[in-house]
Amino acid sequence: MVIDCHYHLEQRALETEDLLREMDRSGVRRAALMGSLIEPFPEPPRPLVRILQAILESRRLRKLGQLLVANFTPRGEIKILGRPFSIITDPDNGAIFDAVRRHPDRFLGWVFVNPRGRLDQLDELRKYQDEPGFIGVKAHPFWHHFTPMELLPVARVLAELGKPLLIHCGYGEEGDYGALIARVPELKLVLAHTGFPEYSDTWRAVFTRPNVYLDLSQTSYVSEKATRESVAYLGSERLLFGTDGPYGFHDEEGRYDYGFIKRRVERLFPDEGVRRRLLGENFAELVGLGPELEGSSSGAI
């Protein structure tokens, strides 16, 4: 079963029924949904994306990369292609689990928390942790400007539940996931975008921590090179297919190209066993999807 482990439900970019059609067309059985963090924004030109990726992945140019992608206004907006975009402080978990209830055979749900938001992170987790389809917690230390250690209360609960925490690390203290797993060593942790922003340094740091995974999502942060090399370094059991949709490359007709990263994985990894691990088996095992759930689908590929 192919599972997209990282998808933001953003109706302004791709409505739910359109997402289901894209999943069917791309051969994706299930998508793990999380709240929208930002309104749709224009796709950067692909030549610029390739340059950005080379800068981000270079230790020598990492400071320049930080200036390019950590470009915040005094009001906390993120600047993309020179235009400021507001960041949603408390992404809507209710909309996620509404979608999961309507399509339980297609969608799973992350609970999005922000320790510096208006909503209490533990209250949000407790509100949804017993919902069918609940798989874990998502957090964004980078854009919400907090340290991973501030997620300690939910990390402890997740460790007890055996569910993962998915985080998008930032720079400096906003990327110090090590302090968190030192306090909760049994936590299942997923680092988004092949370990952005330190990439290969992150791979080395987590090499001996089998409970730390990386996802392969995003077309701007994650290059073909990073995809190939992260799998080679950590092994096919530690990487997870995801899209970070509906943000990313578009097709020739101007639509979000939902299948782009899946096709990349299929092209880069010809071994069927490796593809199967990356595209779904790893994530199914991580979140505890039983065989009865893996096999249940109405009309999905």
Tokens of 54: 């080379």
pLDDT tops 50 at residue 298: no
Mean pLDDT of 169-190: 98
Q: What is the pLDDT of residues 244-297, one digit of tens each?
A: 999 999 998 889 999 999 999 999 999 999 999 999 999 999 999 975 444 443
- Domain range holding 128? 3-39+86-294
In a domain, 103, yes or no: yes
Q: Quick one: pLDDT at residue 119?
A: 98
Mean pLDDT of 138-145: 98
CA distance linking residue 246 with residue 256, whole number of Å: 6
Q: Quick one: pLDDT at residue 37?
A: 97
Q: Quick one: pLDDT at residue 187?
A: 98
Q: What is the pLDDT of residues 96-108, one digit of tens each?
A: 999 999 999 999 9
In a domain, 185, yes or no: yes
Q: Quick one: pLDDT at residue 292?
A: 42
Q: Quick one: pLDDT at residue 68?
A: 95
In a domain, 57, yes or no: no
Q: Quick one: pLDDT at residue 48?
A: 95
pLDDT mean across residues, the chain: 95
Mean pLDDT of 110-128: 98
pLDDT tops 80 at residue 194: yes
Mean pLDDT of 151-174: 98
In a domain, 92, yes or no: yes
Nearest alpha-carbon partner for 122 in 93, 153, 91: 153
Q: Quick one: pLDDT at residue 291?
A: 57
pLDDT tops 80 at residue 300: no
pLDDT tops 90 at residue 133: yes
Q: Quick one: pLDDT at residue 174?
A: 98
CA distances (Å), origin 2, targets 48, 178, 229, 259: 30, 30, 22, 12
Domain count, the chain: 1
CATH number at residue 288: 3.20.20.140
In a domain, 53, yes or no: no
83 φ, ψ to 5°? -110, 135
Q: What is the pLDDT of residues 204-245, one digit of tens each?
A: 999 999 999 999 999 999 999 999 999 999 999 999 999 999
pLDDT tops 80 at residue 164: yes
CA distance linking residue 31 with residue 20, whole number of Å: 9
Cβ neighbours of 251 (radius 10 Å): 11
In a domain, 248, yes or no: yes
Nearest alpha-carbon partner for 65 in 177, 142, 138, 139: 142
In a domain, 300, yes or no: no
In a domain, 151, yes or no: yes
